[in-house]
Amino acid sequence: MVRAVHYLNQFFAGLGGEEAAETPPTRLEGPVGPGRGLAAELEGIEIVATLACGDDYFGEREEDALARLLELLERERPDLLVAGPAFGSGRYGFACARFARLATEQLGIPVLAAMHEENPGVAAAEGKVLIAATAVNVAGMREALPRMARLAEALAAGRELGPPAEEGYLPRGFRRNRRAEASGAERALDLLLDKLGGETRSEVAGGFDGVEPPPPVADLSTALLALVTEAGCVPQGNPDRLPTIRAQRWLRYELGSAQTLAPDRYESVHGGFDVTLANEDPNRLVPLDTVSALAAEGRIGRIHDVFYTTTGNGTPVAAATSFGQEIAAELRDAGVQAVLLSGT
Amino acid sequence: MLAKEIERAGVPTVFVTSLPTIATMVGANRIVRGPAITHPFGLDETERRRIVERALEMLETEVEPTTVWEVDPS
């Protein structure tokens, strides 16, 4: 029997929701939560233990978390590590990818993670971790588990994998030679015809591009500074109904002469972290009180009287890119010279 | 993503986040590490001022792509 260890976050391990996101690495006996469904699918592989860690704990103390998780993992004498499925959850997917990558590098065992293709964990894996493709949310659990099981079995058996689209994993960023049925010219024409027909395909996956940093602000004491946040900060009651996850839009709110984000007037509706501390004092997310004080002291010229907000939580890359472009256009029109952006 | 697009438009942008690795991967350039996901600008005004001042300093500095700055502990 192949010995597998399964990694989950605090939520899927049943330890609690966002209030338990600071849970340190923990060992649980046998399969837990989605691990039970996975265990039922697996042939010849036994989940001997489950390791779990809070998403915030991992994000904030990655080095400690990884060291402890590796120590717990080693004790199980595993043949295989399986992590997730994390779906579109960024912190969870990131933890799955980092831990799996470390496990394969340090222990030399095969590793499998599972998440949505736009999860930041995919980039964190840098092609070093086999990642089963999943839907963006937990509704895709039923499809995810058998797919993970088949890939785990392939890894355990050392079977050479077919192409990503056939086996249901995400491209790892390398190419393998194979004989194509049609020449490059013919395939390119097919792609072009498909594109004219409204379907854009590619034989090569794209990555994130970079942008050159613009020159620094010449004189902040005369500059107009704007506040932008991805932390879901909105007026109390969320009058415009900013979604708590997968926002399809951004919003702009007048600050008027306000010098602080008062807790009775603002709140955060971000669905990706525990907002208790943020709602006690929204300046912890958007520091209007501090920048106002610094403007009064002359350190900053002026604060833009509008702030921009969205929830950067499971937002598709294309959507986040267009939010950025739209907000940037407004900021430029308003003569903004510097931006203080807050995320989680 | 927001940071990158605003910087692409030529406006220097500093991103305060407690997940700088992810910010680096998506291509933000000026990144300051905040203390925690639930309160990137700290809990009290003293801590917040230290973080904001560090962020402002980064706006005034020429940087290489995807630079991450830490905030000195008090």
Name the band, by pLDDT with cuts 50, 70 and 90, for residue A156.
Answer: very high
Residue-level pLDDT at A246: 83
The answer to whether residue A304 scores a pLDDT higher than 60 is: yes
Residue-level pLDDT at A210: 80
Residue-level pLDDT at A151: 97
What average pLDDT does the segment A27-43 reach? 97
* Residue that wins the pLDDT comparison between A274 and A93: A93
Say yes or no for a CB contact (<8 Å) between B5 and A324.
yes
What average pLDDT does the segment A286-307 reach? 96
Residue-level pLDDT at A206: 54
Three-state SS at B15: strand
The answer to whether residue A152 scores a pLDDT higher than 60 is: yes
Say yes or no for a CB contact (<8 Å) between B6 and A283.
no
Strand bridging mode A2-9 / A80-83: parallel
What average pLDDT does the segment A89-107 reach? 96
The answer to whether residue A173 scores a pLDDT higher than 80 is: no
Say yes or no for a CB contact (<8 Å) between A332 and B11.
yes
Q: Of the ranges A98-102, A176-180, A249-253, which is most confident?
A: A98-102
Contact A265, A324 (CB under 8 A): no
Task: Say if B57 is an interface residue toward chain A (CB within 8 Å).
Answer: no
Rg (CA), chain A: 23
Name the band, by pLDDT with cuts 50, 70 and 90, for residue A12.
Answer: very high
Contacts of B20 in chain A (CB under 8 A): none
Structural domains of chain A ordered from first start: 2-167 (3.40.50.2300), 220-342 (no CATH)
Which of A96-100, A209-213, A261-265 has the weakest average pLDDT? A209-213
ipTM of the complex: 0.96
Contacts of B64 in chain A (CB under 8 A): 213
Chain B's closest residue to A281, CA to CA, is B43
Residue-level pLDDT at A180: 87
The answer to whether residue A271 scores a pLDDT higher than 80 is: yes
Q: What's the burial of A164, exposed, middle or buried (CB within 10 Å: 0-12/13-18/19+)? A: middle
- State phi, psi for B48 to the nearest 5 degrees: -60, -40
Residue-level pLDDT at B6: 95
Which of A71-80, A167-176, A276-285, A293-302 has the weakest average pLDDT? A167-176
Torsion B62-B68-B71-B73 (CA) sign: negative
Name the band, by pLDDT with cuts 50, 70 and 90, for residue A208.
Answer: low
HEC string of chain A equals CEEEEEEEECCCCCCCCHHHCCCCCEEEECCCCHHHHHHHHCCCEEEEEEEEECHHHHHHCHHHHHHHHHHHHHHCCCCEEEECCCCCCHHHHHHHHHHHHHHHHHHCCCEEEEECCCCHHHHHHCCCCEEEECCCCHHHHHHHHHHHHHHHHHHHHCCCCCCHHHHCECCCCCCCCCCCCCCHHHHHHHHHHHHHCCCCCCCCCCCCCCCCCCCCCCCHHHCEEEEEECECEEECCCCCCCCCCCCCCCEEEECCCCCCCCCCCEEECCCCCCCHHHHHCHHHCCCHHHHHHHHHCCCCCEEEEEEEECECCCCCHHHHHHHHHHHHHHHHHCCCCEEEEECC
Say yes or no for a CB contact (<8 Å) between B2 and A341.
yes
Contacts of A215 in chain B (CB under 8 A): 12, 62
Residue-level pLDDT at A176: 77
Residue-level pLDDT at A150: 97
Say yes or no for a CB contact (<8 Å) between B36 and A56.
yes
- State phi, psi for A19 to the nearest 5 degrees: -65, -20
Strand bridging mode B13-17 / A266-268: unpaired
Name the band, by pLDDT with cuts 50, 70 and 90, for residue B74.
Answer: low
Considering only residues 4 to 33 of chain B, which have any Cβ-Cβ distance to chain A shorter than 8 Å? 4-19, 21-23, 25-27, 29-30
* Residue that wins the pLDDT comparison between A244 and A102: A102
Mean pLDDT of chain A: 92
What average pLDDT does the segment A230-239 reach? 93
Contact A35, A47 (CB under 8 A): yes
Residue-level pLDDT at A228: 96
Instruction: State the Cα angle at A172 between A167 and A177, rounded to 5°.
Output: 80
pTM of the complete model beyond 0.80: no
Torsion A238-A240-A245-A251 (CA) sign: negative
Name the band, by pLDDT with cuts 50, 70 and 90, for residue B47.
Answer: very high
Three-state SS at B53: helix
Residue-level pLDDT at A199: 80
What average pLDDT does the segment A263-285 reach? 91
Torsion A218-A309-A210-A130 (CA) sign: positive
Neighbours of A21 (CB within 10 A): 26
Per-residue pLDDT reduced to its tens digit, A126-150: 899 999 999 999 999 999 999 999 9
Say yes or no for a CB contact (<8 Å) between B62 and A321.
no
Task: Say if B46 is an interface residue toward chain A (CB within 8 Å).
Answer: no
Residue-level pLDDT at A75: 97
Name which of A60, A123, A211 is nearest B8 (Cβ-Cβ). A211
* C-alpha to C-alpha distance for A294 and A300, rounded to whole angstroms: 6
In this structure, what token pair is assigned to residue A307?
A: 């702030």
Per-residue pLDDT reduced to its tens digit, A41-97: 999 999 999 999 999 999 999 999 999 999 999 999 999 999 999 999 999 999 999
Q: How far is A64 from chain B (nearest CA, A)?
A: 15
Question: Considering chain A, what percentage of its residues have pLDDT values greater than 90?
Answer: 78
Contacts of A119 in chain B (CB under 8 A): none
Provide the residue ranges of all domains of chain B, joining segments of one domain with +.
Answer: 2-69
Q: Looking at beta carbons, which pairs linking B53-58 to residues 24 or more positions away fall under 8 Å?
A: B53/A294, B55/A340, B55/B14, B55/B16, B56/A220, B56/A294, B56/A299, B56/A300, B56/A340, B56/B14, B58/B14, B58/B30, B58/B32
Residue A6 pairs in a beta bridge with A50, A82
What average pLDDT does the segment A88-108 reach? 96
